[in-house]
């Protein structure tokens, strides 16, 4: 990708030395031992720490110093120290270079996008592997494959890993890579912060995985206190990684918001903004407002565990409701942090392959902003039977049901766009259409949960589990793969094999539904979530579900095979605009040059003007005839 001649590059081993991932790992491990030692010194004289078999202060200090070492090793201290020493600010040296820039601090938004794609992808597959191991346990109604403690750790790792990683599943890779290009900008508003948001993700992921070595996690992804207070040291890993990921999400939100608000090219009015960018804007608002609340609740758990406070211990005046409120005040907007980028992706893909303008553009924007607003008002529907504020239940029932109105707009957009269209069933289009099928079931099953009498039956059962897997896997993950097949030719410059793509899609779609639809029935037949033992008469159902889940795993292997086959062996260069899309991101060369545009383009038309007679091109890329402002 780099234009630098090969002869000018130093030998490979020389390039391993410097501020990169290896140095980060080494300093991170060193930081762990330093921090653990400092924590050990701090614990002296505090009997509640010394009297137990684990010193949470030492563990937290170890993680803290490990993260600092990791970031310093990657080069995050260089800029502030350089500035202190009087060096002029510049991004240049971060953005050029060979393949090594993918393994160190790089402020090019396209490099960060690809780092996110592979980084988050790896954790996504680890989370998926956990799900396969869980389904193996559930083949029989009694504990067999794993002891109960390991099963719970698998459940918790699967949930936490997936929630943490899928929060940045679309905004990380595609938001970072394409938002600046789609709005006609050269980079993000805060490029160093952008790099930081990515490099916190592997740190959080590795810390979470370290829970396995510290006795595991027994709380599931929700980490309810006071169960979290009494958990083994693995809980510290959960708390620390969630804090890191929440900081990362907050910064991603602020960065994308600032970029979209301030860095649009001339002519990129709000009504010409691609719908994907609208969804990113809505999501970034949610991230910036909701993720800090998670930091607060996790810090309280940290204090309860390390400093002997009692925010959540009832017998000394704490309240478990405090945790539930804080957690779900983050947790419900989080659900829409997961769902909204999916809405954006599918509405971005539909017009291209329906060859029609996006039907009801303003309605789609209103829908996304409506969801953003309402998502902060529904969190207590997770607590309908908790005994808190029972008098407010009709209010939360109302707001929860209201949120289906703006969500319904997205369906109307799809219906209108498909009306008398010229649909082409490419792989990205298949994934986008499957999104609507899955999200329809996911959304309508949510109405059951919003109604209190019905929720009393289904709360905490597999019905809930099936519901949110339909919205998150069926919605977000399908949209993610749609985006992968749609945008990867631009990001990596190579075509993906279409036949393998279609096999991946059909296996995933069919067996996704065969896995999760029966689980609605399991919930209706009183199977609670997160159990390693269940009623024997549900065994046939569970074997069927496990078998289907394994086929989902197989479909993911086919996807990986497709990636390796297309990117390593065939290497068929992709056309610059293989889908004949009007999107601005498809009008730039492949691979995209370092600062995207020679000149900032002037946007002359909306991105969805398919079939509009005499529609102007989407942008003027050499606006020389216009008065040059400040050039």
Q: Is 357 in the site for other proteins (CB under 8 A)?
A: yes
SS3 state at 307: coil
Q: What is the per-residue binding string for other proteins in 378-407, x denoting contact by CB under 8 A?
A: -----xxxxxxxxx-xx--xx--xx-xx--
Q: Is 354 an interacting residue with respect to other proteins (CB under 8 A)? A: yes
CB 369 within 8 A of CB 411: no
Between CA 250 and CA 252 the distance in angstroms is 6
37 binds other proteins (CB under 8 A): no
Residue 272's SS3 state is coil
In the bound state with other proteins, the residue whose beta carbon lies nearer, of 118 and 419, is: 419
DSSP state of 390: G
Under the binding rule (CB under 8 A), the answer on residue 132 touching other proteins is no
The reply to whether 144 sits near other proteins by the rule CB under 8 A is: no
- In the complex, the smallest distance separating the C-beta of residue 382 from other proteins, rounded to whole angstroms, is 11
Closest to other proteins by CB, 56 vs 334, is: 56
Q: Which two tokens stand for residue 99?
A: 């393949």
Number of chain positions touching other proteins (CB under 8 A): 103
Q: Which of residues 51-70 bind other proteins (CB under 8 A)?
A: 52-54
Return the sign of the alpha-carbon dihedral for residues 213, 217, 223, 225: negative
Residues of this chain, 222-241, that bind other proteins according to CB under 8 A:
222, 224, 226-227, 229-232
The DSSP symbol for 602 reads E
Residue among 14, 92, 93, 420 that touches other proteins (CB under 8 A): 420
Concatenating the DSSP letter of every residue in 176-237 gives HHHHHHHTT-SS-SSHHHHHHHHHHHHHHHHHHHGGGGGT---STTTT-TTHHHHS-THHHH
Q: How far is CA 476 from CA 122, 163, 400, 481, 601, in A?
A: 17, 11, 20, 9, 32
Residue placing its CB nearer to other proteins in the complex, 132 or 412: 412
Name the 3-class secondary structure at 293.
Answer: helix
Per-position x/- string for 158-197, each x denoting binding to other proteins as judged by CB under 8 A, each - no binding: ----------------------------------------
Alpha-carbon distance 441 to 435, whole Å? 10
Residue pair 598/608 in contact by the 8 Å Cβ criterion: no
> Does 454 interact with other proteins (rule: CB under 8 A)?
yes
DSSP 8-state code for residue 586: G
- Minimum distance of other proteins from residue 514's CB (angstroms): 17
Only segment of 202-210, 377-385, 487-495, 557-565 that touches other proteins (CB under 8 A): 377-385
Any contact of residue 220 with other proteins (CB under 8 A)?
A: yes
Window contacting other proteins (CB under 8 A); options: 124-132, 315-323, 490-498, 594-602: 315-323
Name the residue nearer to other proteins (CB basis): 43 or 67: 43
Among 460, 536, 616, 617, binds other proteins (CB under 8 A): 460
If binding is defined by CB under 8 A, does position 470 make contact with other proteins?
Answer: no
Nearer to other proteins, 412 or 567 (CB): 412
Neighbours of 394 (CB within 10 A): 10
From 296, 313, 377, 554, residue interacting with other proteins (rule: CB under 8 A): 313
213 lines the binding site for other proteins (CB under 8 A) = no
| Binders in 88-117 for other proteins, by CB under 8 A | none
Residues 116 and 198: beta-carbon distance below 8 Å: yes
CA 260, 265, 270, 272 torsion: positive or negative?
Answer: negative
- Map the footprint of other proteins across residues 563-592, applying CB under 8 A: 580
Output 521 or 554, the one with its CB closest to other proteins.
521
Does the footprint of other proteins cover residue 276 (CB under 8 A)?
A: no
Contacts of 172 (CB under 8 A, 6+ apart): 113, 116, 117, 119, 120, 197, 198, 201, 252
Scan residues 510-549 and list those touching other proteins (CB under 8 A): 524-526, 528-535
CB 445 within 8 A of CB 308: no
Q: Is the peptide bond before 591 cis (omega within 30 degrees of 0)?
A: yes
């Amino acid at each position: 990708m780099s234009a630098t001649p090969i002869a000018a590059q130093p030998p490979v081993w020389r390039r391993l030395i410097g501020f990169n991932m290896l140095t980060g790992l080494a300093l991170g491990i060193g930081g762990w031992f330093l921090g653990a030692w400092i924590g050990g010194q701090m614990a002296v004289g505090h009997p509640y720490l010394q009297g137990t078999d684990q010193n949470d202060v030492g563990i937290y200090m170890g993680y803290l110093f490990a993260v600092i070492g990791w970031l310093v090793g990657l080069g995050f201290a260089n800029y502030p120290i350089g500035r202190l020493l009087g060096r002029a600010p510049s991004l240049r040296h971060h953005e050029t270079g060979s393949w090594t820039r993918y393994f160190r601090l790089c402020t090019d938004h396209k490099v960060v996008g690809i780092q996110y794609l592979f980084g988050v992808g790896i954790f996504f597959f680890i989370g998926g592997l956990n799900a396969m191991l869980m389904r193996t346990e559930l083949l029989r109604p009694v504990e067999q494959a794993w002891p109960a403690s390991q099963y719970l750790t698998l459940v918790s790792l699967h949930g936490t890993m997936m929630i943490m990683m899928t929060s940045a599943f679309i905004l990380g890779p595609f938001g970072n890579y394409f938002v600046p290009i789609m709005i006609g900008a050269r980079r993000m508003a805060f490029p160093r912060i952008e790099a930081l948001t990515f490099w916190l993700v592997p740190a959080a992921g590795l810390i979470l995985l370290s829970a396995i070595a510290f006795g595991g996690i027994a709380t599931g992804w929700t980490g309810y206190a006071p169960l979290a207070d009494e958990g083994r040291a693995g809980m510290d890993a959960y708390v620390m990684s969630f804090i890191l990921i929440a900081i990362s999400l907050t910064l991603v939100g602020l960065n994308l918001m600032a970029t979209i608000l301030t860095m649009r090219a001339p002519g990129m009015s709000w009504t010409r903004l691609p719908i994907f960018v609208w969804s990113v804007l809505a999501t970034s608002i949610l991230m910036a407002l909701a993720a800090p609340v998670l930091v607060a609740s996790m810090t309280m758990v940290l204090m309860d565990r390390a400093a002997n406070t009692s925010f959540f211990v009832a017998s000394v005046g704490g309240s478990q409701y405090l945790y539930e409120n804080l957690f779900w005040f983050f947790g419900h907007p989080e659900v829409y942090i997961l769902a909204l980028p999916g809405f954006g992706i599918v509405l971005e893909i539909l017009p291209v392959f329906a060859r029609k303008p996006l039907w009801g553009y303003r309605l789609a924007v209103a829908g996304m902003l409506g969801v953003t607003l309402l998502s902060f008002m529904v969190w207590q529907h997770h607590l309908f039977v908790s005994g808190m504020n029972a008098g407010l239940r009709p209010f939360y029932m109302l707001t929860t049901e209201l949120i289906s109105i703006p969500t319904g707009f997205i369906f109307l957009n799809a219906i209108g766009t498909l009306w008398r269209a010229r649909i082409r069933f490419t792989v990205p289009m298949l994934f986008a259409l499957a999104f609507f099928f899955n999200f329809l079931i996911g959304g309508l099953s949510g109405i059951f949960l919003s109604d209190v009498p019905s929720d009393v039956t289904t709360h905490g059962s597999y019905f809930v589990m099936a519901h949110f897997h339909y919205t998150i896997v069926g919605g977000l993950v399908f949209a993610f793969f749609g985006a992968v097949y749609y945008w990867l030719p631009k990001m990596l410059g190579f075509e993906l094999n279409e036949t393998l793509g279609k096999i991946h899609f059909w296996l995933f779609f069919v067996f996704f539904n065969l896995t999760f639809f029966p689980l609605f029935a399991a919930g209706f037949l009183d199977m609670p979530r997160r159990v390693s033992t269940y009623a024997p008469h549900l065994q046939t159902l569970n074997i069927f579900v496990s078998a289907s889940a394994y086929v989902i795993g197989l479909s993911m292997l086919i996807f990986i095979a497709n990636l390796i086959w297309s990117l390593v062996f065939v290497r068929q260069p992709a056309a610059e605009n293989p889908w004949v899309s009007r999107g601005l991101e498809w009008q730039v060369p492949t691979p995209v040059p370092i600062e995207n545009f020679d000149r900032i383009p002037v946007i002359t038309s909306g991105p969805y003007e398919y079939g509009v007679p005499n529609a102007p091109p989407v942008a003027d890329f050499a606006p020389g005839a216009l008065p040059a402002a400040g050039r």
